[in-house]
Structure 1
């Protein structure tokens, strides 16, 4: 899942592609919005989109979190859909959605 600031001046697809590239080194096609999780506490709303993975290269990730070793490691983990039920994936609404469409 990818988040962005509302009102950033870019459309959702452009913002999602940019975030996926920066955070994961992923190139993906962005499909329809599948779920909106309302804002709660200090978190803004989360918009969940269908995406089609085209390529992934973690070496292409970029941003300040990758330049500062004191912030820890950022490891990309590939998860098989069959292993999804055992994960503590949050928010729960997104996990339920993934489980409902995995078959």
Structure 2
């Protein structure tokens, strides 16, 4: 059975929140949608709420799926959801940096390879 990793697309107006990785070394400095692994007994939505609280210090409501699943390996599947900010204050607890980007900036970022699969869907959501 595959381990699911959930990622949150937090969109505000016409901008998307992206997070710059601190680790592992081969991904450090690359940009991603924040999120993390679903723990045993957790729903995907619960995991995403927990991960974004831990990583960013924010409260979110998880909405619809974004794009298709991305297989990272035989046992790891990445799945993105749209999320809506409901509280908290953004802070990069687990990342090098956070930034808001427009659809025109999506293609110019150095993305974590797996997250690139969602760029067309993100551009549509941002009106690009």
Question: Same fold by TM (over 0.5)?
Answer: yes
Task: Tell me the TM-score normalised to structure 2 length.
Answer: 0.58
**Structure 2 portions without partners, runs of 5+:** 1-6, 8-34
Residue 62 of structure 2 contacts residue 83 of structure 2 at CA under 8 Å; is this kept in 1?
yes
Distance 2:111 2:120 in 1: 9
1:17-51 CA-to-partner distances (Å, cap 9, x unmatched) read 00001111121111012233232336611110011
When you count strand as a share of all residues, which structure comes out higher?
Answer: 2
**Structure 1 portions without partners, runs of 5+:** 67-73
Match of 1:17 in 2: 49
Between stretches 45-54 and 34-43, larger displacement belongs to: 34-43
**1:75 corresponds to which of 87, 96, 99:** 96
User: Which residues of 2 match residues 24-43 of structure 1 at below 5 A?
Assistant: 24-41=56-73
CA displacement at 1:88 relative to structure 2: 2.0
The structure with more radius of gyration: 1
Q: Number of aligned pairs? A: 90
When you count helix as a share of all residues, which structure comes out higher?
Answer: 1
DSSP-derived class of the 2:106 partner:
helix
